[in-house]
Chains A and B, each alone.
Chain A
Amino acid sequence: MLATIIFYALAILTVGSSCIVVFSRNVVYSTFALLGAFMGVVGIYVLLAADFVAMVQLLVYVGGILVLTIFAVMLTQGIADVTISNRSVGLIPALVIAVVAGGVMAFAVERTHWHLAASVTPSPTTYGIGNAFLGDYVLPFEIASLVLLAALIGAIVISRHEARE
């Protein structure tokens, strides 16, 4: 019962923040509403007993991506013209595509018969995740580290000033 109430509160927080991100006319409001969306998802991960994923979400999304996004917003927008910088176009086609996508997903969720596990007792997930990373998923794990290295170098190369000659 309590878990259900907490879920609804977190769902409202997440969906509301997402709506602000998308529909706000002010880019700065959008960026800070992204914090609410990420934190709501963190709360739902905790509710689902996915402790390690919740902490990584907090570190990577809130601590990394969100801070980076705030930096980008502050570096690219003049504070003065921030309200006019977010006009929207093509509302009708976007609405149609969104409704169709949502309908297909709702249909799929409604029609699929999931083989649910009987009842999962919450236990620390770190052991299982570590075993999976160094067992079944060792190759994707190593490739992911290469992807991150490439992205790191690429970001530095792209964003620095050209200092040749």
Chain B
Amino acid sequence: MVSLSWLMALSAAIFVIGVGGFLTRRNILVMFMSIELMLNAVNLAFVSLGSRLGTMDGQVIVFFVMTVAAAEAAVGLAIIISIFRSRETVHADDLTLLKW
């Protein structure tokens, strides 16, 4: 029986790694992967708490997070490929069209 503190610590560690990756990387694809890591960490926290508190709600909410992640993956990657097709770059620093 793994203690809840370790599970939450693991979840927090993955989340922090995701935050660091999102802030330091300038490749949109790696930023996207960091977001997926953060969503995974949140899912892990939900499932751990649901399991340790003896409730099913944690596992149900994970499905809604997964829905959002799947929608984000489909639309986000479509946008990335579309940007790459028209501008030939995946660097966040080069994509300044919406800046004024």
What residues make up the interface of A, taking CB atoms closer than 8 Å to B?
3-4, 7, 11, 14-15, 18-19, 21-23, 27, 30-31, 34, 37-38, 41, 44-45, 47-50, 52-53, 56-57, 60-61, 64-65, 68-69, 71-73, 75-77, 85-91, 93-95, 97-99, 101-102, 105-106, 109-110, 114-118, 120, 125, 128-129, 132-133, 137, 140, 144, 147-148, 150-152, 154-156, 158-159
Assembly CA distance A45 to B7 (angstroms): 11
Contacting pair A21 B15 (CB below 8 A): no
Please list the 7 inter-chain residue pairs (A to B) with the smallest Cβ-Cβ separation, ordered nearest first: A117-B54, A22-B21, A151-B71, A94-B23, A159-B78, A155-B74, A105-B12
**Which residues of A are found within 8 Å of B14, using beta-carbon distances?**
14-15, 18, 37
The chain B residues found within 8 Å of chain A, CB to CB, are: 1-2, 4-10, 12-21, 23-27, 29-30, 32-34, 36-37, 40, 43-44, 47-57, 59-60, 62-64, 66-75, 77-82, 84, 90-91, 93
Which applies to chain A's interface (DSSP): helix, strand, loop or mixed?
helix
- CB <8 Å contact, A68 and B73: yes
Contact of B57 with A132 in the complex, beta carbons under 8 Å: yes
User: Taking each of B7, B57, B63, which has the highest tally of chain A beta carbons within 10 Å of its own beta carbon?
Assistant: B63
- Check A85 against B27 for contact (C-beta < 8 Å): yes
B66 and A4 contact, CB distance less than 8 A:
no
